[in-house]
């Protein structure tokens, strides 16, 4: 085959990972790597690489004389962007989106308040640019363009907080926003009120108004939860 080894293990992961997170292999299930290698028509070395990746996500555990065992959900690295993507692709999507959006509502207002204190002039300018990009893509069914600027906006907020823990959640927020868009848990055009809130938030950060930045971000995440009540009850 001309496909690279990495491409092969990626193909297997794209099928096997979602099957595990969807519960097709319940916790305690033993994965037979020989059988899986046959199923996916790949070598044992490719399957070993697949298992290593799944282990890094704490989805499975390899033990001598036992084999590769699927771990309980409580052991999973639920902040891994790939795990989030797989779970959002499954039937449990509404609950996952709500859980992740509640996480955002707990983290992002605090991050926005810190960003209002510590953002550099360059970061303030980037926020404004992202907000204007959201405005420009908020009508005409241009959700992909809107998503691009929305993800960038929230990454800047988390990074500008100056807290490396918050900054590391940028990938998590990106997966939540992408999941909403790609699984049609968004209105055809974004809520104009939400777009305005992002513009106002960029202004609050630029003006060093931490209290207003927190309040506006809380309104953004509360609005996202309300959208989920309508689109993914």
Tell whether 164 and 69 lie within a shared domain: no
pTM: 0.88
Tell whether 130 and 216 lie within a shared domain: yes
Average pLDDT over residues 100-117: 98
Residue keyed to tokens 């104009």: 192
Tell whether 111 and 182 lie within a shared domain: yes
Q: Measured between alpha carbons, how far is residue 112 from residues 66, 125, 176, 179, 207 in Å?
A: 48, 15, 18, 22, 12
Tell whether 106 and 166 lie within a shared domain: yes
Cα 61–chain centre separation: 24
Q: What is d(CA 233, CA 221) in angstroms, rounded to the nearest whole number? A: 17
Q: What angle do CA 55, 56, 59 make, to 5 degrees?
A: 45
pLDDT in tens, 3-49: 334 588 889 999 999 999 999 999 999 999 899 989 999 999 999 99
pLDDT at 3: 36
pLDDT, mean over the chain:
93
Tell whether 45 and 71 lie within a shared domain: yes
Confidence of residue 230 (pLDDT cuts 50, 70, 90): confident
* Number of helices followed by number of strands (H, E) in the chain: 11, 3
pLDDT over 70 (residue 130): yes
Tell whether 24 and 123 lie within a shared domain: no
Q: What is d(CA 214, CA 200) in angstroms, rounded to the nearest whole number? A: 11
Which residues is 69 bridged to in the sheet?
Answer: 30, 61
Q: Measured between alpha carbons, how far is residue 225 from residues 45, 100, 102, 231 in Å?
A: 44, 10, 8, 10
Percent of the chain, pLDDT > 70?
97
Among positive and negative, which fits the CA dihedral 57, 107, 221, 153? Answer: negative
Residue keyed to tokens 């092969």: 8
Expressed as residue numbers, the domain containing 86 is 81-231
Tell whether 65 and 159 lie within a shared domain: no
Tell whether 115 and 185 lie within a shared domain: yes
pLDDT in tens, 48-90: 999 999 999 999 999 888 889 999 999 999 999 999 999 999 9
pLDDT at 54: 97
Residue 53 maps to which CATH number? 1.10.10.10
pLDDT at 2: 32
From 50, 75, 100, give the residue that closes a domain. 75
Tell whether 164 and 89 lie within a shared domain: yes
Residue keyed to tokens 């969807």: 22
Q: How many domains does the chain have?
A: 2
Tell whether 108 and 219 lie within a shared domain: yes
CB hemisphere CA count around 133 (13 angstroms): 18
pLDDT at 6: 55
Of the listed ranges 5-9, 150-154, 205-209, the least confidently predicted one is 5-9
Percent of the chain, pLDDT > 90?
81
Tell whether 148 and 123 lie within a shared domain: yes
Residue 218 maps to which CATH number? 1.20.120.530
Average pLDDT over residues 189-202: 96
pLDDT over 50 (residue 151): yes
């Amino acid at each position: 085959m001309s496909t690279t080894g990495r491409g092969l293990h990626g193909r297997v992961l794209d099928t096997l990972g979602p099957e595990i997170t969807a519960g097709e292999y319940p916790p305690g299930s033993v994965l037979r790597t020989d059988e899986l290698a046959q199923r996916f028509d790949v070598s044992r070395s490719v399957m070993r690489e697949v298992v290593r990746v799944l282990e890094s996500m704490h989805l499975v555990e390899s033990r001598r004389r036992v084999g590769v065992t699927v771990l309980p959900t409580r052991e999973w690295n639920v902040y891994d962007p790939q795990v989030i993507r797989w779970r959002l692709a499954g039937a449990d999507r509404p609950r996952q989106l709500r859980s992740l959006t509640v996480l955002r509502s707990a983290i992002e207002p605090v991050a926005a308040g810190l960003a209002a204190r510590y953002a550099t002039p360059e970061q303030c300018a980037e926020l404004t640019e992202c907000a204007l990009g959201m405005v420009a893509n908020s009508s005409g069914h241009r959700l992909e363009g809107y998503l691009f600027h929305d993800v960038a906006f929230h990454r800047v907020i988390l990074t500008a907080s100056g807290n490396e823990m918050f900054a590391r959640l940028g990938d998590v927020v990106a997966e939540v926003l992408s999941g909403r868009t790609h699984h049609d848990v968004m209105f055809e055009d974004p809520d104009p009120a939400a777009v305005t809130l992002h513009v106002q938030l960029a202004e609050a950060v630029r003006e060093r108004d931490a209290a207003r930045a927190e309040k506006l971000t809380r309104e953004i995440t509360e609005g996202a939860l309300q959208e989920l009540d309508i689109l993914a009850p």
